[in-house]
Every structure is written in C-alpha cells, then in structure tokens.
Amino acid sequence: MGLFTELKDSISRVMDRLFTDDEPKRIGIYGPPNAGKTTLANRIARDWTGDAIGAESHIPHETRRARRKENVEIERDGKSVTIDIVDTPGVTTKVDYEEFTDEMEEDDAIRRSREATEGVAEAMHWLREDVDGVIYVLDSAEDPITQVNTMLIGIIESRDLPVLIFANKIDLDESSVKRIEDAFPQHKTVPLSAKEGENMDEVYENIAEYFG
C-alpha cells in the first residue's frame, strides 16, 4: 500500500510539472500597510476584468485577509500572461490597536488589530508556500529602508521569486522614486500612481515581461 501511494504521488508531481505552464501564475501583491496594495490590485482587476477585488481605505490594515482574483489576462506589446492576483494584508512587525482609536471605538480597534495580526501571518504563509512571483508595493513618499521591507525582500530573494518593485503614489509632492531605486538597486523599480492611474502602461508591460 505504501509503495502504491508513493508511486501515485510521484506521478502526480510529474503531471503538475507538465501542466504548470498552462496554469495562471499566482502573483502576490506585498508591502507595508497603506502603501496602496489594494488600490493597485483593484486598478489591475478593473482594467482587465471589470471587477474590483476589495475595499480601499486610508485607515491602515483595511485588508486583513488575503483576497484573490483569478484568471486576469494581461497583454502588452505582443506579450501576455494570465495571473491570479493575490492581494495580501500589509506586513508589519507590530500592530497596536491604539493606532485605530482615532477612527473607531476601542472594541472595534482591538478587533481590527487582532485580525490584522492574523492577516500578517497569512501573508507570510502565502509568501513561503503559494506564490509564483511578487509585486512589491512601496509608498514613494516614505523611507523604504525599514526592517519589514528588508526582511520581505530577503525572503523573496531566498525563494528566488521574480519580483517587481512598484514605487506607488508618485502623484504626491513628497514622492521620491530614486530613494526606492537606491534602496533596492538589484530589482526593477516601476513608478506609478495606482490611485490616479498614472504610468499603468509601463506597469502592464513589466508584468507581462517578468511573469509571462
């Protein structure tokens, strides 16, 4: 019985490899809270499927569970790729309920912080187990050199995953794309404003090239 099970598992793994190129690539959208990950996910999903993925908010940790949009086909300059977008919760080293108390009652803030902490764990699980590539979103108006960014980029590199860094919020006066390029020179950085839809052609060209 054990030999039969091992043989079945071996055949299953071979078949998975044979058909893997026909399956959509699972592309995780990662980054710190409030970098604009869900805004970007919604922009991509609406442009190519007409549907949004999730709610957007100025309050940190609006996304507290990973959300997925399947079979998003992106075409640019003769290249195309079909991806499943995985919009993940913002990753941080600490979630304090007090950062929400200006926006909601204390009980709601405590619940949000607990859910956000669980969301961080889920995001890390996806990164270690279930994504084929990463779009890493950073707020270009903020300092990119943080413990979280260094840690996540290191994990992505250790898994040898293809990654694009998106310098979001270039519509803001304080934006500095160069600061992000200097922080992570080993990776391609693409400037954009997901909110305003600026530079989305270059975004899609790079997605089709890197993940296709």
Per-residue model confidence as pLDDT tens digits over 81-131: 999 998 887 776 555 445 555 565 666 656 656 665 566 566 666 666 778
Three-class secondary structure assignment of the chain: CHHHHHHHHHHHHHHHHHHHHHCCEEEEEECCCCCCHHHHHHHHHHHHHCCCCCCCCCCCCCCCCCEEEEEEEEEECCEEEEEEEEECCCCCCCCCHHHHCCCCCHHHHHHHHHHHHHHHHHHHHHHHHCCCEEEEEEECCCCCCCHHHHHHHHHHHHCCCCEEEEEECCCCCCCCHHHHHHHCCCCCEEECECCCCECHHHHHHHHHHHHC
pTM metric for this prediction: 0.76
Average pLDDT, the chain: 80
Domains and CATH numbers, the chain: 2-211 (3.40.50.300)
User: Looking at residue 123, what is its pLDDT?
Assistant: 66
